[in-house]
C-alpha cells in the first residue's frame, strides 16, 4: 500500500466578514500581532516568526473562514499531495500553480467535506523574525465545528495525512500533521463554523504576560487561564471585536510518533478539562460563542462558475 503523504504544517488562517479589516487595531494594539501587508480588502497580520502572516482579515458578506493555510516542504511534496487528493476523490480547485497574492509561492486549494477552503503553499514569502517578548509566534491550532465529525476526520486522515492524537469523549477529535499535539481539532456541532483559533506564545511567562496586556487594556478572558487535558496546553480565550473566539496558548504537547497512543479524555471530570482548576468548565455563554455563526464555506457561486468553466 502506498504511504500517505502528510500535510507539512499549519501556517495560519484567513478570516472574512463585513468590515473585518476595520478591526485591525485590536490585533495590533492588544493581541500582539503586527501588520505585514494591507491592500484594499485584506490585512495580513504577522507574528514574531518568519511566516508572511498568521491571521488575515478580508472583506466578505458572511462571517467565517476564507481559507485555512497549510505548508508543504517543497514543490515535489506539494505535487504529491495534490495527486493524492485527486486520487482519493477530494474536491480539488485546480492544479498546483504560482499564487498571485502577497505571500506568493506555489500550491493549490481544495475543499473539505464542509465546503471549507484549504490552501497549501510552499516557497512563500519569508519575513525577518522579530525579537518581541510576549507576542504570538505562530498559530498553534484551528478548531472547527462540524455536523459530520467522523466524515471530516476521515477526510483529514485519508486525504491529507493527519493522525489522531486524542479524543474528548465523543464530542471532539484532535488531529496532528506535525509533532504538535493538534493543528486541527473537530467539534461535533449542528452546522459548520469556526470554533476558535489559538496563538502560541513561546513560554508560560509570555503567555501570562499576554493575558496581562489584554487585561490592562480592558479585555478580560472569557474562559481561562487554565490548562487543558488533551494537548496539556495552557489556555486563555477571548472574543474579538467581530465575534470570533481567539486563544492564547503555550507549551503544547509534542508527540513522539513511536510511542504515542490516542486516548479518550472524559468531559465530566473537571480536572481533565482544566488540570489547574483555575478556569473550570466553559460557561453556557462561552459554549454559545464557540458555536460560531453558520459558515457556508467557499462561495457556491464561485464553485458554480468553476464547474461551468470545466
CB 225 within 8 A of CB 234: yes
* 92 vs 72: CA distance, rounded Å: 16
Q: What is the pLDDT of residues 107-156, one digit of tens each?
A: 999 999 999 999 999 999 999 999 999 999 999 999 999 999 999 999 99
* 87 vs 2: CA distance, rounded Å: 12
Tell me what pLDDT residue 308 has: 45
| Nearest CA-CA partner of 165 in 152, 178, 146 | 178
Q: What is the pLDDT of residues 223-252, one digit of tens each?
A: 999 999 999 999 999 999 999 999 999 999
Tell me what pLDDT residue 256 has: 96
Tell me what pLDDT residue 7 has: 98
- Name the average pLDDT for the chain: 94
Q: Using alpha carbons only, what angle is made at residue 295 by residues 290 and 297, rounded to the nearest 5 degrees?
A: 135
Kind and range of the H or E run holding 45: strand 42-46
Tell me what pLDDT residue 304 has: 43
Residue 35 CA: distances (Å) to CA of 45, 132, 295: 5, 14, 26
Tell me what pLDDT residue 159 has: 98
String of b and e for 156-185 (b: at least 16 CB within 10 Å)? beebbbbbbbbbbeeebbbbbbbebbbbbb
In this prediction, the residues of the chain whose per-residue pLDDT falls under 50 are 301, 303-306, 308-309
Tell me what pLDDT residue 1 has: 53
CB 10 within 8 A of CB 184: yes
Strand partners, 237: 223, 247
Amino acid at each position: 500500500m502506498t504511504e500517505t503523504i502528510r500535510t507539512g504544517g499549519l501556517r495560519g488562517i484567513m478570516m472574512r466578514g463585513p468590515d473585518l479589516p476595520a478591526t485591525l487595531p485590536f490585533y495590533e494594539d492588544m493581541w500582539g500581532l503586527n501588520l505585514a501587508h494591507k491592500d484594499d480588502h485584506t490585512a495580513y497580520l504577522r507574528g514574531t516568526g518568519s511566516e508572511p502572516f498568521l491571521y488575515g482579515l478580508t472583506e466578505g458578506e458572511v462571517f467565517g473562514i476564507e481559507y485555512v493555510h497549510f505548508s508543504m516542504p517543497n514543490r515535489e511534496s506539494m505535487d504529491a499531495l495534490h495527486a493524492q487528493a485527486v486520487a482519493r476523490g477530494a474536491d480539488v480547485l485546480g492544479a498546483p500553480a504560482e499564487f498571485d497574492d502577497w505571500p506568493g509561492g506555489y500550491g493549490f486549494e481544495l475543499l473539505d467535506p464542509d465546503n471549507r477552503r484549504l490552501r497549501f503553499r510552499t516557497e512563500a514569502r519569508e519575513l525577518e523574525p522579530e525579537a518581541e517578548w510576549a507576542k504570538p509566534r505562530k498559530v498553534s491550532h484551528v478548531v472547527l465545528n462540524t455536523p459530520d465529525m467522523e466524515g471530516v476526520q476521515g477526510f483529514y486522515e485519508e486525504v491529507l495525512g493527519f493522525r489522531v492524537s486524542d479524543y474528548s469523549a465523543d464530542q471532539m477529535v484532535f488531529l496532528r500533521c506535525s509533532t504538535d499535539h493538534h493543528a486541527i481539532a473537530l467539534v461535533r456541532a449542528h452546522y459548520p463554523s469556526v470554533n476558535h483559533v489559538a496563538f502560541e506564545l513561546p513560554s508560560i511567562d509570555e503567555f501570562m504576560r499576554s493575558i496581562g496586556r489584554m487585561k490592562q487594556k480592558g479585555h478580560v478572558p472569557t474562559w481561562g487561564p487554565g490548562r487543558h487535558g488533551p494537548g496539556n496546553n495552557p489556555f486563555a480565550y477571548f472574543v474579538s471585536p467581530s465575534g470570533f473566539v481567539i486563544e492564547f496558548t503555550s507549551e503544547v504537547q509534542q508527540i513522539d510518533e513511536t510511542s504515542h497512543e490516542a486516548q479518550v479524555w472524559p468531559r465530566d471530570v473537571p480536572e481533565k478539562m482544566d488540570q489547574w482548576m483555575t478556569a473550570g468548565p466553559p460557561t453556557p455563554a462561552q459554549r454559545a460563542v464557540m458555536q460560531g455563526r453558520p459558515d457556508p464555506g467557499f462561495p457556491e457561486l464561485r464553485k458554480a462558475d468553476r464547474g461551468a468553466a470545466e
